[in-house]
Each structure stands twice: as structure tokens, then as C-alpha cells.
Structure 1
């Protein structure tokens, strides 16, 4: 189901405000570049914006009604005046841009405007980019271009200079969590993943990764053993941790998960229990948070962040984890 203007305003409020102003003040540019990370909503917002430009019954002066013929045809992807160009193989070919130009040289079939959207605009071949540049140099009053990219630096400067660049922020954990739950992920799992990635697709992939599912259990268990004594924790590293977290990237992921637990303790101390990621452990964590001073908690989080830094500077992961366990157990 297509996202409404309201849906997209929750995901990218600044972007939607800019687009709203361009419509209500009659300052719609002839070409835009939507740039931002994968999964930040560029294509959904492109489609929503196209609806606003062609809608027959706008509400509040800028929101598409979602009910008129134009809105419905854009939703279904078969409006004759709205075109989406995607990669043909590894790149966008010159022929695709030529075909678009021929299509747009005709009069609008049904609407006052024509809109074309180019996904992965940084993947245009040299020929395609040059053809598009000619198109942009002679803008038609009724044509709006929307180029989408995750790699703004790869767009030709001559194309950049002819477009209004709108930057999309990475999705917030709340938005990632909501989207993951919409994909039928368990809320607890969605909550954890949303703090590890800002990309919904990567989050879904992570949820199906058996290694990651097991990793969460091992990290929580390490934390629980730490509450007992350092000797048990050191033994647990030998029996369970090292056999699972073998690569540096895996250790880094484990440290991220461990940091989330200590952040949960911080949220509890700040009386923000609704922000706790490991909700299933809330009662247990509440008890722990009572017995840990804010200063010690800050030190513990510092130890984990320092371990992450050392890990990337080629420190032996095994020695690093053993030292971290001793630091976290001491005075906890």
C-alpha cells in the first residue's frame, strides 16, 4: 500500500516541509536531486510528490487526495505522464534517456505536468548523463525531474548545478522499528535491530540471520554472568563467546549489543523505560540499575566504546574481551 503525505512526514519531516512550501508558494523546481541513504524514503516520497503535482483534488493545497484518477494511476505505476527509470543491468543507458526525451517531447497525455524519476541516478553511463544534461539545460515549463541517489558525489557537477538538492536523513530507530514490525518482525527483535541499522532491508536480512539471533542470547548471558563474578565471565568467554564471535566484525556487533544493554540501564535511571530495547529483561535491569551509580554506568559504557575503538586498531580480540570483562566486573 502506498504511503500518504502524512506517513512520509513522520519519516522525513524536513523534506516534506520543503516540498510543501515549493507547492504552496508555486516554486516547484524543474529538477530535484533526492540524496540520502538506502531505505530513507526517496522513492516513496518521489511518488507522493508526483501525486501532489498531478492530483485533481489537492487537500490543504498540497496533499494528494489519493482518490482521483491521477493519484490512483500513479499508485499503480501506469500514469502516462509519470515515468520511473531504473537501471538496465548495472547502469542507466543512453537509450533509456533518449526514449524518455522522445516520450516527453509529446504533449502531456492527461495532466498539466509530466514527471520523470530516475532511481540510482549516479549509475548513469556517460552517454546517459550527457543526454540528461541536454534535457536539463532546456527545461520545459511543464516537466519536473526527480533524480535519486545514495552517492551525490558521483553525480556530474554540471547536472548538480541544474538541480535543487534535497537531503534525506537516515531513518530514526523509531521509524526503522515501526517499518520492521510492519514486516511482521517480533517487536523485541525489531527494537534491537532498529538500534543497529538505519536500513530496513538490512534489518530484515539481519532478522533472518541465525548467527545474529544466537549472538543476542550470548551477549545477554555474558551480561548476566558479569553480574556474578569476573572468573565466571572469563570462563564464559572461553566456553561460549570466542566460538561464536570469531571475526572482528562479529566482535564489533557483539559489543554493539552489549552497549545496548548498558544504554537500557541508563534509560531506566533516567525514568525513560519506554525507550528500553530489551523490554523482556526490564524487571531484571531495573534491579541492576538501582545498584549501579550513574558514574559507574558511564564508566562501563566508556569501557565498551574504548573496546570498539581498540578492536578497529588491530588489538587482539581475545585479549580485548578479557580486559573488557575485568573492567566491567570491577566495582559493578
Structure 2
């Protein structure tokens, strides 16, 4: 998300507050961006930093073309410091290094911004050192702490920051966001059902196995409908070789689950809720084979298979059992 129009579409309340702070030149010295994984905390931080540094911005909107904007996009702006956990935690030495960096005059301007990912993972010593840093902020210093749980931060740190809560993205909004990033509408709708995390969705969309998994779901259903006696052979020869780990197997089962949910949607006369929008003709044909009750039974069987995978039951056994249940 490179502009406030896009950001406002997914985080309207927080965007409005930050836009107003930019227009009124009332940038706080410290923020906490709190939100679940995938709500856009890092993207929001990057956009806000652009607006702070961009010398050609219009209102709150950065130009996205000047030297400052391009450097922020590439991660090379000398006055924007990005801190991530060193291993499992953010350590005291990282905060000490940050303080040292901020004792120098800004390379490009008087402004300095630092963003800390997973701020709740600071060690006790790092938290105390950061607190001292926050107590004596520089005139043009802005801290942005990112966390899924602000309550895990010291109360004294919370009290010195403006806390902004990011809302989880709704499925429709998330699908539209992915579509705007160049992902096809059909893939975007599927991905929005698999994850609510932007980075994860983009990663999955670029993986070859995802495209194969979608085809395998359609093929497995077709085999179950037309050649049920060959279903076990299909699972072992086609399905299992592609689903090489439990994460892939879980996602593939979720894709299969969505197919039967679509059948239920069609029975309920809710065509707008269908996820496999490119396969509507096939879904219509599936209605001739799967009664509403059988489709519901398949949904329950797939959910049970997903639970068994979580319990470390052997994947091949899980799929064999599921296939036999769906053959009935």
C-alpha cells in the first residue's frame, strides 16, 4: 500500500488519525501500532515514515518518487531505522546502538524515525533502556513500536506512546487488496479464505504448489463423482506427492473444504458467496452428485481430517480415511 487512499480502505480509523497529525504537523514522538498478524502494521509504518520525510508530499500524501520515498521503499534511508528481534528477542545492545545512532545529527534532515517490530519481545533490560530513551525524546524523533499485544509492553512505555489499534481485515477487503496488487480475482478470493496475512498471501500466491493444489481439488472431486473406485489411487499417485509437508496438507484440505462450502452456498441460493468463482459450471454439475446432506457430511469429514493432521496422525492415513468417507 503506497498511498493513504489504499491504506484508508483497510484501516480507516487509524489512517484518519495519522493523516490529521501530518496535516496539522502534530506528529507524536512515540506510537504503538497494535494489531493481529496481517493487519498491515509494517506497511502503515513505512507509509507514515514516507509522509514524514517526503519533501514533495501533497497534504499527507507522499509523492512516492523523490529520493526519500525511494530510499524508504528500498530500506536504505539513513534516518529511518528498522529494528527486528535478534533471534528470539530484541536485546539491550540493539537499543544501545539505536541511542548511539540517534545521538548524531540526521544525515538528510533533522528528522529521525525508528520502527521496532515485535516490540513485545524486548528483554527486560532492553525495555528499561527504551523507556529512558522515550523519557527524553529528541525534538524531531519519532518512535513506532509494532506489536500484536501492547499489554506485554511495560505500562510505563505504553503511557508514553499514542496507542493505535489496527482492525483485522475483512475477507472482502482483503480480497480486494490482493486483487489490487495484481492477483487475479479468483485467486484473491481463495487466498482471503486461507489467510488474513498480506505477506503470507503474497508468498502462497507465488508458489507453484498452490496452483497445483487448486487443480488437484477439482480433479479429486471429479474422480469422486465419476470414478469413485479410483479415488484412493488418485490420492496416493497425484495428491500426496504435491502436499509434501503438513502446512501444505492443511491448506490443501482447506481448499477442498471451500469446494463443499460452495456447494452448500448454491443450495442456499447464495451464489455471491461462492469462492471458486471460475468453477461455477463444475459446481453446478456437482449439485447433481452431492445432496445437501452429503455435502454437509463431507465438510464435517474434512474438518475432522484437519484436526487429525494437527494431532500428528500420519497424512497418508488421514487422506485414506477421508477419501473412503467421501466415497460413501
Q: Match for residue 120 of structure 1?
A: 117
Q: Match for residue 75 of structure 2?
A: none
Q: Match for residue 237 of structure 1?
A: 235
In structure 2, what is the Cα distance between the partners aligned to 1:229 and 1:121? Answer: 51
Q: Choose which of 40, 50, 75 in structure 1 pairs with 2:69.
A: 75
Deviation at 1:30, TM superposition (A): 4.3
CA contact (8 A) 2:30 2:161 kept: yes
In structure 2, what is the Cα distance between the partners aligned to 1:208 and 1:244? Answer: 16
Deviation at 1:52, TM superposition (A): 6.8
**Aligned pairs (5 A) from 1:118-197:** 118-120=115-117, 122=119, 129-139=127-137, 144-150=142-148, 152=150, 155-197=153-195
Query: Relative to structure 1, is the Cα distance of residues 84 and 219 closer, same or farther in structure 2, using a 3 angstrom cutoff?
Result: same
**Aligned pairs (5 A) from 1:216-227:** 216-227=214-225
Query: Relative to structure 1, is the Cα distance of residues 53 and 273 closer, same or farther in structure 2, using a 3 angstrom cutoff?
Result: same
In structure 2, what is the Cα distance between the partners aligned to 1:250 and 1:54? Answer: 41
In structure 1, what is the Cα distance between the partners aligned to 2:152 and 2:281? Answer: 50
Deviation at 1:260, TM superposition (A): 1.6
CA contact (8 A) 2:4 2:61 kept: no
Q: Match for residue 205 of structure 1?
A: 203
Q: Match for residue 86 of structure 1?
A: 82
In structure 1, what is the Cα distance between the partners aligned to 2:82 and 2:25? Answer: 29
Q: Give the paired residue count.
A: 317
Query: What secondary structure, in the 3-state scheme, does the structure 2 residue paired with 1:165 have?
Result: strand
Please report the RMSD computed on the Cα atoms of aligned residues, expressed in angstroms: 4.1
In structure 2, what is the Cα distance between the partners aligned to 1:189 and 1:14? Answer: 28
Query: What secondary structure, in the 3-state scheme, does the structure 1 residue paired with 2:83 have?
Result: coil
Query: Relative to structure 1, is the Cα distance of residues 129 and 100 closer, same or farther in structure 2, using a 3 angstrom cutoff?
Result: farther
| TM-score normalised according to structure 1 size | 0.74
In structure 2, what is the Cα distance between the partners aligned to 1:53 and 1:217? Answer: 46
In structure 2, what is the Cα distance between the partners aligned to 1:317 and 1:51? Answer: 47
In structure 2, what is the Cα distance between the partners aligned to 1:259 and 1:38? Answer: 24
Query: What secondary structure, in the 3-state scheme, does the structure 2 residue paired with 1:195 have?
Result: helix
Query: Relative to structure 1, is the Cα distance of residues 128 and 54 closer, same or farther in structure 2, using a 3 angstrom cutoff?
Result: same
**42-51 or 247-256: which moved more?**
42-51
Indicate yes or no: 2:297 matched with 1:299: yes
**301-310 or 274-283: which moved more?**
274-283
| TM-score normalised according to structure 2 size | 0.74
CA contact (8 A) 1:57 1:64 kept: no
